[in-house]
Amino acid sequence: MFEISFETIKQCAKRALDNRIAWTDPDLTNRSQRLLCEQRARHRFIDRWDMRCVGDLITHFPQCVPRRYRRAAITCYLDDDTDTWIVAFTLRTDLS
């Protein structure tokens, strides 16, 4: 089993989105205020992502989790000690 916090997944998704944008627009050396506002808007969109849709977030940004867990069974729970959501991945072979 592999566990990771939902906040960590969202941070990875933000980096993946920024990398995807940078890949399509390599002339980001002239970052204007408009581009920074757009980046903040994209990050806010990911910040508001619903915990119940964590599978969709991983589908859109698969690099958020290790390759072997991208198609694993997902279980989410709230860690009482840290008050954060934890996403647990179980490989299909571990279920039996």
What ranges do the domains of the chain cover?
2-95
Exposed e or buried b for every residue in 72-83, given b needs 16+ CB within 10 A? beeeeeeeeeee
User: Tens place of pLDDT for every residue, the chain, 96 residues?
Assistant: 899 999 999 999 999 988 887 666 656 555 566 677 788 889 999 999 999 999 999 999 999 999 999 889 999 999 999 999 999 999 977 555
Residue 25 CA neighbour count, 13 Å, CB half = 8
Contact 9, 60 (CB under 8 A): no
- Residue type at position 78: L
Q: Name the token pair of 35.
A: 């581009």
